[in-house]
Chains A and B, each alone.
Chain A
C-alpha cells in the first residue's frame, strides 16, 4: 500500500512534506532544549543516590517527612515502582548525615527499608564524564563523516549526516520535553542511534547510488530514481526497524528501571531514524543537485575501485 503512495510524484510530495515536518520538529526540539535543558542524572551532576525498598507500602509523603526529620541537607525522593524508592542528594552534603537517615529508615519497624544500592559520584568526576561523553559523540560523528565522504558522493554523505543530527536532536528534545533523566546509559544509546541511523541512511543511499550508475536510468529524473530506491528498500527498512523496535520494546518493558531511559532513547531514535532515512537522507541530496552525472564522472576515477571494495 505504501508502495503505491511512493510512486512517481506522490512519493516525492510525501518525502518533501516529511522533510518539512522534520524541520518543524527539529525547531521544536531546539526550542525545548534551550528553554528547559536536560535533566542530567547523577553520572553527570555528581552527588549521592540511594535506592531502597520498603517491606510495607508507605505513602511517599509520609516517607518524605520521616526522612526530613533524620536528614539535615536537601534531598529528592522519588518512587520507582511498588515500594521501591530512590533518594538523591547533592554532592556537597557530608556523608555523616546521609547515613543518619539510612539507619533511621532501616531500623524503623513501620518502614523497615532495605537499601538495595547506593552510589556516590564526585562532582569533578561528573563534569569529566560529561566532557568525555560530548567528546565521544563528537568524535563518532566526525569519524563516521570521514568514512562516508570516502565511500559516498558528498551529497549523499551530507544527507546522511543531516539525518543523523536530526535524529539526535529529536531524541534529546523528547528527553527535555518529558523530563526524562539523561544519564550515561542514555548517552551510550545516543551513540548506538548514530550507528543505527546511518545504517538506514546508508542502505537507501547505496541503492540510490546503484540506480544512478545504471546507464538506462539516465533518462529518469533524480526524484524518480530516489523514489524507486526507497521503494525497493522500504520492505527491508520496515522489517529491520520492526524487529529492532520489538527487541528494544522488550528491553523497555522487562529490563526494569535501570534501562528505561536507554530503551526510550533507542526506541525514539529508531523511529525517527527510519523516518529521516527516507525524508532527509534520501531527499536532501536531490535538493543539493544530485544527478546521474555525478556518478558518470566518478566511474572513471580510481575511487571506483574503493567503492566496489567488498
Chain B
C-alpha cells in the first residue's frame, strides 16, 4: 500500500474537486427543501363573475363582517381593486366560506388560491413546497370513463345523416344510402355514378377520419364508409383531448384553480380537485353531457324528436348549428321573470344563424337539448328533447336567447356548459373520492409523527452502535432526508401522498443499510490489521458492488410500481425511487468524504494510531 503515499498529492486535488461539487449539490438541494418550512396558505379571491352584467362585489368590510358572522373568522382581508383577498384563521374552512359567499352574493366569483408564505428570495428562485396529494390536502377525486365506442357510433350516425342531406342538397338522384354493421354505404345506380365522387369528397371534408372503400358491383357502384384502425385511433385521440380541454375549462368555470386533470390509460380521465369539499356541484358540472342544437322543422320525413311539453315533432336531422359555435352564454330573465339563457355566437355560427333566419322569417326553429344518461341496464343512451319551438320574428344575428328553461339552476348550468364547451363522448364517473380537510391534516400529522419516531430510533441506534462512524452515518442520514425533500420539491409532477410519507419513513430505515454494509466491511478490514484510513478505503471499495446490486433490484420494483400504479401508490413509488438515489448519494459518496476527512485529520493529529 505504498502507492497510497505516492498518490497523495493528485488524489487530494481530485478529492477537493469532488468535495466542492458534492457540497454544491447538497446546498442546492437543501435550499430547495427550505420552502417546505413555510406551507402554502389558501386565500379566497372574491371578484365579479366574468360573465355577469351587474357589479355585485361587496366591500371588503362588508365581506369580512359577513364571514365573521358566519363563524368563519377572518385573519386578513385585502382590497385589491377588482378582487378582495381574504385569509381565514382556519384556511381549511375556505371551501365552506366559498360556498357561503356564493350563496350570499350570487354574481361574484370566488376562487381558492394557494399563496406561498416563504420569504421572497426563495420565491424568486421559483422554489415551492412539495405538492400534497389529495389524501393529505383534502379534496375530491373523480375518475371518468369516456365512452369512445358510443362516440364513434354517434359520429357514424351523424355522418350517415349528413350523407343523406348532402345527397338531397346536391340533387344527386340515384344515390341510395344504407346503414351497415360497421358504418354505412352509398350505392350509386349506373346513371348516377359520376355524382358519387362529389358526395364522397364533401363527406370526407366533414369527417376526416372516415375511410371509404369503393367497389363495382356489376352496374352498381358501392362506397362503404367506416372507421379504419388508424382513423379510429385518430378519432379516439381527438375525442380524448377535446374531452380534457372541455373538462379543464369547466373546472375553471367552477372557480377551482389548483385542479389536476390528466389522462389515465386509454379512455380514463383523472381529475383531482384539492380543497373542494362538496362534490355534488362539481359532479353535476363535470359529468354533464348536455349539448344544444338548433334545427329546422320538417313537415314530412326527417327525424322524430320528443317535445319537453309532450308529443313529438319532426325535424331536419342536420342542425343549423350546434352549441360548439357559442362564444358566450349568460343567464337572464325574460319579461315575465322566467329564466333564460342569452347566447352570443362566434363568426361561423353567426353567419349560419343570420343566413338561416333571413331566409326563414316567420317560420319556426326548434332548440334541442341532448343529454346522455344511463338506462336501467347501465347502458348509456342519448336523450334528446325539444325544449322550445319559436317562430323567427326577425332577422337574427349572433346574439339571441333561449327561453323556456325549467329553472334558474338549469339555466345557470346550461350557460356554464355552453361557455365551457360540450363533450362529444358520454362520460361516466367510475371512481369518486372525497377526503375531508380534517382527515387530510390528521394524515399529515400522523405521518410526520411516524417519520420522527422512526428517524429517532434509527439515529439513536446508529450513534450507540457505531459511535464515531455512527455519527457520520447520522449526518449522512439527515443529509439524505434533506436531499430527498429538496429533490421532491424541485421535480415537477412529484406529489407527496400518505403512502409517500410511508415510503419516506421506509427510506430512512433502509438508507442506513448502505452505511451498515460499509461499516461492517471497515470493521472486518480493521480486524485484518489495516490502518484506519486504509480500512475505510477498502471498506467503501469492497461494499460498492453489493450496494449497487441491492439498490438496483429495489429500483426495478419501484419503477414498475410507478409505471403501473395510480394516485397514492404512485406517490409511494416516487419517494421510494428518489430515496434510493439520495441514499446512495449521501450514504456512499457524502459519508465517504466525511469519514475520509475526519480520519485524515485525526490521523494527522494523532499520528498513525487513530482508532476506528
Contact = CB atoms under 8 A, between A and B. Distances in A.
Interface of A: 51, 114-122, 124-125, 129, 132-133, 135-136, 139-140, 143-144, 147-148, 151, 184-185, 187-188, 191-192, 194-196, 198-199, 202-203, 206-207, 232-233, 235-236, 239-240, 242-251, 253-256, 258-259, 262-263, 266, 308-310
A70 B227 CA distance: 50
Given A242-B461, A253-B453, A259 B502 contact: yes
A247 B564 contact: no
Interface in B291-334: none
Interface string B261-273: 0000000000000
A258 B453 CA distance: 18
B501 A255 contact: yes
A148 B564 CA distance: 22
Nearest to B503: A192
Nearest to A115: B436
A235 B517 CA distance: 9
Main SS at interface, chain A: helix
Main SS at interface, chain B: helix
Minimum-distance CB pairs A-B, first 8: A247-B454, A247-B509, A195-B554, A122-B430, A244-B509, A250-B453, A250-B454, A119-B433
B432 A144 contact: no
Contacts of B517: 203, 236
Contact of A258 (B135, B556, B560, B565): B135
A254 B513 contact: no
Contacts of B568: 184-185
A87 B516 CA distance: 46
B443 interface: yes
Contacts of A240: 510, 512-513, 516
B229 interface: no
Interface string B543-571: 01110111111111110110111101100
A162 to B, nearest CB: 15
B457 A250 contact: yes
A198 B553 contact: yes
15 contacts: A116-B438, A125-B431, A136-B564, A139-B564, A184-B565, A196-B510, A199-B510, A199-B513, A202-B549, A207-B546, A233-B520, A239-B512, A243-B457, A250-B449, A259-B502
Contact of B436 (A116, A132, A139, A206): A116
A248 B506 contact: yes
B557 A236 contact: no
B514 to A, nearest CB: 9
A239 B505 CA distance: 16
Contact of A191 (B443, B454, B520, B557): B557
Contact of B552 (A122, A147, A232, A251): A147
B13 to A, nearest CB: 22
A118 B546 contact: no
Given A184-B569, A240-B516, A253 B450 contact: yes
A40 to B, nearest CB: 16
B396 interface: no
B139 to A, nearest CB: 10
Given A115-B436, A188-B561, A259-B499, A266 B461 contact: no
Given A151-B549, A198-B553, A199-B550, A256 B446 contact: yes
A253 B505 CA distance: 13
B435 interface: yes
A14 B553 CA distance: 28
A195 B506 CA distance: 12
B442 interface: yes
Given A148-B553, A255-B447, 6 more contacts: A125-B431, A136-B561, A143-B560, A185-B572, A188-B572, A240-B516
A246 B434 contact: no
A44 to B, nearest CB: 12
B143 interface: yes
Nearest to B142: A120
B336 interface: no
A93 B457 CA distance: 47
B370 interface: no
Interface in B117-156: 135, 143, 145
Nearest to B580: A195
A259 B498 contact: yes
A121 B508 CA distance: 33
